[in-house]
A and B are shown apart, each in its own frame.
Chain A
Amino acid sequence: MNRYLKLVNFEFNRIAKVYFVLLAILLISQIAGVIFSSKNYLNETNRMIYEELIPKAEYLSRYGPMSMDQVLSSIWFIGPMALCVALVAFYIFLIWYRDWFGKNTFIYRLLMLPTARLNVFLAKITTILLMTFGFVAFQLILYPIESTILKWMVPKEFRVDLSVHELISSSGFLELNIIFPNSIIEFILNYGAGFVAVTILFTAIMFERSYRIKGILLGIGYSILAVIIFFAPIIIQEFLQRYYLYPSEILIVEVAMGIIVTCCSIWVSNYLLKKKIRI
């Protein structure tokens, strides 16, 4: 356990600089987004009211007040978030391959540590989870700050204040609802599915690192099989066109399938790391 935690700390420190730079980009870009969106709105409002001489009430009924969901749809907001998602997706592969293909083959050291090799696997997956939840938590902290900036910039009669919850649930972007689930059930489903996907990908990487070219095929085969098993309850229902289970029961079965696939992936990865992996 102790060595596992040390490995997690070590793995996180390896990406920490890039990670904190991305958080800074997220912060700067989104706050800039709030400022620019508010300024644009105010400029347009002033032009309409003072140059086009549209009454304030008519302007508001025609164009609506300013709110955070308008900021949410801007590139200033979505762009850095997409960058963070892309980094995590890319890092799922890089976290393993850089240890083999880096200037110094650090994988020698990792595989010769006096601890179960599975701890290396678990430390890397924990790092991915920490990064993901770190981004989400940071974004949730940023929302109220951004809302406050909006309040400073836009007069009360021209804005609608939305709480974090209202903001997330009012968002028209499906992607945002995936990242920020509305309920605990959605959280378990979204992030549970993400975790299962990462364990499947890690296992596929272990296959490739163990058997090289043959391993790519084995990895793809394993991934397809794991996805089929994971979605089996839904696939069977749709295929047979008979809906034996209530949606809540389907949810429980899906969670169970997710646990089964995750356990299988960890077991297979442990076997490959112990018996088949090669430098």
Chain B
Amino acid sequence: MIEVKDITKKFGRRKVLNGVSFTANKGEITCLIGINGVGKTTILNAIMNLTPINSGHILINGEKIKKESYEKITFIPDAITMLPQMRIAEAMGFMNDFYDCWNQERATELLGFFKLKESERISDLSKGNTAKVNLLLGLAMDVDYILMDEPFSGIDIFSREQIANVFTSHLIEDRGVIITTHEISDIEHLIDKVVLLDNGNVLKEFNAEEVRENENKSVVDVMREVFKA
């Protein structure tokens, strides 16, 4: 389980996160939702120790993040994290060199799934295909948790559908996913848990399935209620 406990983060005098707490379980898709600038990306960066927090705790399976944790959790940011001059095969080779959890079989499967060619250079890829390579590099790792930052941002509808299909495939399996997105409609029916954020605070945390079944509401309906209030 990923536990985010009462974290605060300031950039200069501006408080971006103001006591944010939530949990994300293995086997669940947790979605962080909020308008731009509410601190969604900062939370993911903080979980990965890519930005220091001012107070609070972040635990992954009960432990603070350490170098070994990067074999158990992966982060797929909204921009690709490989050098533009690399070919996809070289990027996969880099991952294979440095990560014990890299699964070459799954990587090859993902190449086929996304219809990508190993010989293509990253700098030559379209935005959609760049996002797919980014996903490939994250999903091909045998990790417990995957963090995704705006995986649908600025991508055409066909690529979005292809990426959304990942969530229903065995590629996610029983892994825990934390995702931030504006394009909620693409994966609304797949989300298990929602954390609504505003001004660095958690406005509401709810189980999407319960809301669907008990209240007969969609995630978007709850969002409208909370944000209008």
User: Which residues does A use to contact B, with CB under 8 Å?
Assistant: 3, 6, 10, 14, 102-106, 108-109, 111-117, 275-279
List the B residue with the shortest CB-CB distance to A10.
B94
List the A residue with the shortest CB-CB distance to B80.
A104
**CB of A18, distance to nearest CB on chain B (Å):** 12
C-alpha gap A278/B42 in the complex (Å)? 10
Given A103-B123, A115-B98, are A109 and B67 also a contact pair (CB < 8 Å)? no
Q: Which residues of A contact B81 (CB under 8 A)?
A: 104-106, 108-109, 112
The reply to whether A104 and B82 contact each other, CB–CB distance below 8 Å, is yes
Q: Which residues of B contact A6 (CB under 8 A)?
A: 97-98
**B84 at the A/B interface (Cβ < 8 Å)?**
yes
**CB of B191, distance to nearest CB on chain A (Å):** 25
The reply to whether A276 and B52 contact each other, CB–CB distance below 8 Å, is yes
**CB of A121, distance to nearest CB on chain B (Å):** 14
Q: Which residues of B contact A103 (CB under 8 A)?
A: 84, 123
Q: Which residues of A contact B67 (CB under 8 A)?
A: 113-117
Q: Which residues of A contact B48 (CB under 8 A)?
A: 111-112
Taking a contact as CB atoms closer than 8 A, the residue among A114, A275, A279 that contacts B68 in the complex is A114
**B25 at the A/B interface (Cβ < 8 Å)?**
no
Q: Which residues of A contact B122 (CB under 8 A)?
A: 104
The reply to whether A279 and B50 contact each other, CB–CB distance below 8 Å, is yes
**B226 at the A/B interface (Cβ < 8 Å)?**
no
Q: Which residues of A contact B94 (CB under 8 A)?
A: 10, 109
C-alpha gap A278/B51 in the complex (Å)? 4
List the B residue with the shortest CB-CB distance to A14.
B83
**B71 at the A/B interface (Cβ < 8 Å)?**
yes
Taking a contact as CB atoms closer than 8 A, the residue among B52, B98, B100 that contacts A278 in the complex is B52
List the B residue with the shortest CB-CB distance to A278.
B51
**B99 at the A/B interface (Cβ < 8 Å)?**
yes
Q: Which residues of B contact A275 (CB under 8 A)?
A: 52
Q: Which residues of B contact A111 (CB under 8 A)?
A: 48-50
List the A residue with the shortest CB-CB distance to B95.
A109
Given A10-B94, A278-B45, A278-B50, are A105 and B79 also a contact pair (CB < 8 Å)? yes
Taking a contact as CB atoms closer than 8 A, the residue among A14, A105, A112 that contacts B70 in the complex is A112
Taking a contact as CB atoms closer than 8 A, the residue among A102, A108, A113 that contacts B75 in the complex is A108
The reply to whether B79 and A112 contact each other, CB–CB distance below 8 Å, is no
Total contacting residues, chain B, CB less than 8 A: 27
**CB of A11, distance to nearest CB on chain B (Å):** 11
**CB of A76, distance to nearest CB on chain B (Å):** 32
The reply to whether A113 and B98 contact each other, CB–CB distance below 8 Å, is yes
**B77 at the A/B interface (Cβ < 8 Å)?**
yes
Given A103-B84, A108-B77, A109-B81, are A114 and B52 also a contact pair (CB < 8 Å)? no
The reply to whether B45 and A279 contact each other, CB–CB distance below 8 Å, is yes
**B74 at the A/B interface (Cβ < 8 Å)?**
yes
**CB of A171, distance to nearest CB on chain B (Å):** 40
The reply to whether A114 and B71 contact each other, CB–CB distance below 8 Å, is yes
Q: Which residues of A contact B74 (CB under 8 A)?
A: 112
Taking a contact as CB atoms closer than 8 A, the residue among B77, B99, B100 that contacts A105 in the complex is B77
**CB of A7, distance to nearest CB on chain B (Å):** 8
13 contacts between A and B (CB under 8 A): A102-B84, A104-B82, A104-B83, A105-B79, A108-B77, A109-B82, A112-B81, A113-B67, A114-B67, A114-B70, A275-B52, A278-B45, A278-B51
Residues facing A in B38-52 (CB within 8 A) are 45, 48-52
C-alpha gap A14/B82 in the complex (Å)? 12
The reply to whether A112 and B45 contact each other, CB–CB distance below 8 Å, is no
Q: Which residues of A contact B97 (CB under 8 A)?
A: 6
Q: Which residues of A contact B77 (CB under 8 A)?
A: 105, 108
C-alpha gap A6/B96 in the complex (Å)? 12
Given A104-B80, A278-B50: 9 more A-B contacts, CB < 8 Å: A3-B98, A104-B79, A104-B82, A104-B84, A104-B122, A113-B99, A114-B69, A114-B99, A279-B50
**CB of A216, distance to nearest CB on chain B (Å):** 14
C-alpha gap A204/B50 in the complex (Å)? 19
**CB of B102, distance to nearest CB on chain A (Å):** 10
List the B residue with the shortest CB-CB distance to A275.
B52
**CB of B201, distance to nearest CB on chain A (Å):** 22
